[in-house]
Amino acid sequence: MKHADMARVLARCASFDQRVVTADQVTAWHEVAGHLDVDHAIQAVAHFYAHHRNRMWPVDLTETITMLRSQPPADQPPEGKDVP
């Protein structure tokens, strides 16, 4: 993702935790999480704040995306379950 995309991700975080996003924060987050897909990151932010009270950090972003990727799609039954 681009720096502008990371700024969008951090702005989304700010809508939940009222952080003030600076250019230095965007650069720092981009250094460690810039390889991620922006759409996955935005989705991960919403998922994270639906389940946590604490502030999201870059490690939370990468771990949440990894967790979401490991889950089957909502319209797909879990493995080993028969579909009626």
Query: Tens digit of pLDDT for each residue in 18-29?
Result: 999 999 999 999
Mean pLDDT of 39-48: 97
Q: Which of 69, 1, 54, 8 is nearest to 31 (CA)?
A: 1
Question: What's the CA gap between 60 and 69, in Å, rounded?
Answer: 14
| Res. 38: pLDDT tops 70 | yes
Question: What's the CA gap between 37 and 77, in Å, rounded?
Answer: 26
Mean pLDDT of 46-56: 97
Q: What percent of the chain has pLDDT over 90?
A: 83
Burial 1-35 (b: 16+ CB within 10 A, else e): beeebbbbbbebbeebeeeebeeebbeebbeebbe
- Whole-structure pTM value: 0.82
